[in-house]
Amino acid sequence: MSADPEIVVIGAGPAGVGAALAAADTGARTLIVDEAPTSGGQVYRTMPAEFRLKPNASPGPDYAIGEAQRKRLLASPVQTAFGRRIWNVSSDFRIDAIGPAGLESWRSQALVVAAGATEKVVPFPGWTLPGVIGLAAATILLKSQQMLPGERTVVAGCGPLLAAVAVAIIKGGGKVAAIIDLSGPLDWLKVLPRMTSRRDLLGRGLGWLQTIRRAGVPILFRHMVKEVRQSNGFLEVEAWPVDRDRRPHPGGRGLAGRGHAGQGSNFRADCVTVGHGLVPATEVTRLLRADHEFRAEAGGWIAVRDADFRSTRERVYVAGDGAGISGAAAAFLQGRIAGLTAALDLGKLDRAAHARATALIRRRACKAERFGRAMAGMMTLRPGQLAAMTPDTITSSRRGLAAAWDRVRVASVVRSPRRSSPLGSADAKRLVSGPPEHRSGRSPLRR
């Protein structure tokens, strides 16, 4: 690209790819930047260029969608800067990054932030032990490396990734010792009407459940991982029933699947993969001082935006899970609207053309968002999950902080939301996704 880009897209997941393709179609000079070696994000992640699919492997629909998006990006006029980690975005839209050739920078007229989300794990005793990993880490191993996370794995937490990871392990030849789901069957039934907006995804989920049942995997509904301990080279996983607020209830019956009575249960495994939802990545929008609001059902703190995906900061646009958890299908469509809006504001197309181009996309996005937000609601943090942490639970593996001390530190920041946070990055993410009683009009990390 001989001249500076007119639009820079941060993030090459589905939202970023959608934004870049739409903006470039209007003639805008567009650059997309990501630290990964290629596009796809977490959901449409591909293997390293040196890898090949195993014989008779069936990579699934996500792989096919990701490959189609990568081909479209390659054939487009969009300039790509992969393998670059952005370390600064200034108020005049100068983007500084470090990559294979060292330091690089670009200056743009508009910025589309499609930064995605980070995984949320509510700490529990033993979560820092070797062999205990996040659901996102397990999907990286399975999708990108074609590697099982363990020979015998416990899959725990909440949301649709539990079934997705369990099925990938089964198809890869591994053993799933148990699925420990914080939600109950009634929770899933309540969101079923919204899930019918995407019958293809609903059908895929029902197929996952059949695979899990055929494999004889015990499913413990409305249970939590109480503790993980090391024992003779294995991990001992203790699961307890929880109430509707996901508070541990050791005397309760819980709801267990095949082969278990529903009381406190123990499993032996060499890997535990756990996840409690997603937190929108708002680092860039907070850095640029856009307004934020707390929406628990959307994942926590998100940038305020209008129907065209403009943030409150002029010529800064947000799309995808970074603007509220809604899933990969919705993210691509949201990105397209954001890219077209950025082009509109730069004079690359008029309002009538913008309205025509976005009309069909909005209808499709509405259906996808309905499904994605139903899934996000299943992962909404509930009060009992935080109350379940014992005072000596390590809450930051990097710094060895315990829950009792952490609560004092969090409370001091919540009382003064405008002061700069003394917490580390892991602690900051907990505040960003904090419970409703910690809400204020702006993100607590914004000065």
Look at residue 113 and tell me whether its pLDDT is greater than 90. yes
Domain shared by 45 and 110, yes or no: yes
Q: Using 50, 70 and 90 to split pLDDT, how confident is the model at 402?
A: low
Range scoring the smallest mean pLDDT among 199-208, 306-315, 404-413: 404-413
On whether residue 27 sits in a domain, the answer given is yes
Mean pLDDT over residues 433-446, rounded?
37
On whether residue 70 sits in a domain, the answer given is yes
- Number of H helices and E strands in the chain, helices first, is 12, 23
What is the amino acid identity at position 168? A
| Burial track 31-53 (b if 16+ CB lie within 10 A, e otherwise) | bbbbebebbbbbbbbbeeeeeee
Domain shared by 269 and 138, yes or no: yes
Chain CA centroid to CA 41, Å: 10
Residue among 21, 22, 58, 65 nearest 43 (CA): 65
Backbone angles phi, psi at 12, to 5 degrees: -115, 30
Average pLDDT of the residues of the chain: 86
* Predicted confidence (pLDDT) per residue in 69-104, tens digit: 999 999 999 999 999 999 999 999 999 999 999 999
- Residue 397 has what pLDDT? 56
Domain shared by 198 and 318, yes or no: no
Domain shared by 286 and 327, yes or no: yes
% of the chain at pLDDT higher than 90: 66
- Quick check: 157 and 276 in contact, CB under 8 A? yes
| Burial track 356-382 (b if 16+ CB lie within 10 A, e otherwise) | ebbeebbeebebbbbbbbbbbbbbbbb
Query: What is the domain extent for residue 74?
Result: 7-118+279-377
Q: What is the DSSP letter of 323?
A: G
324: region left, alpha or beta (phi > 0 left; psi from -120 to 50 alpha): left
Domain shared by 139 and 259, yes or no: yes
- Residue 443 has what pLDDT? 37
Look at residue 424 and tell me whether its pLDDT is greater than 50. no
* Predicted confidence (pLDDT) per residue in 156-215, tens digit: 999 999 999 999 999 999 999 999 999 999 999 999 888 888 888 888 889 999 999 999
Domain shared by 263 and 285, yes or no: no
Q: What is the DSSP letter of 128?
A: T
Which single residue is written with the structure tokens 């609207």? Answer: 337
Mean pLDDT over residues 432-442, rounded?
38
DSSP code per residue over 396-447: ETTTTEEHHHHHHHHHHHHHSTTSPP-S-HHHHHHHHT--GGG--SS-TT--
Mean pLDDT over residues 56-76, rounded?
87
Mapped onto helix, strand or coil, the DSSP state of residue 112 is strand
Domain shared by 165 and 193, yes or no: yes
Mean pLDDT over residues 216-238, rounded?
95
Domain shared by 180 and 290, yes or no: no
Domain shared by 243 and 218, yes or no: yes
Mean pLDDT over residues 266-271, rounded?
96
* Predicted confidence (pLDDT) per residue in 6-20, tens digit: 999 999 999 999 999
- Quick check: 412 and 423 in contact, CB under 8 A? no
Range scoring the smallest mean pLDDT among 45-54, 213-222, 313-322, 323-332: 45-54
What is the amino acid identity at position 234? F
Mean pLDDT over residues 132-144, rounded?
93
Domain shared by 263 and 314, yes or no: no
d(CA 296, CA 433): 7
What are the Cα distances from residue 3, in Å, to 22, 34, 98, 107, 298? 20, 20, 20, 10, 38
317: region left, alpha or beta (phi > 0 left; psi from -120 to 50 alpha): beta
For the chain, first and last CA: distance in Å? Answer: 36
Look at residue 1 and tell me whether its pLDDT is greater than 60. no
Range scoring the smallest mean pLDDT among 56-60, 369-373, 415-419: 415-419
Domain shared by 89 and 194, yes or no: no
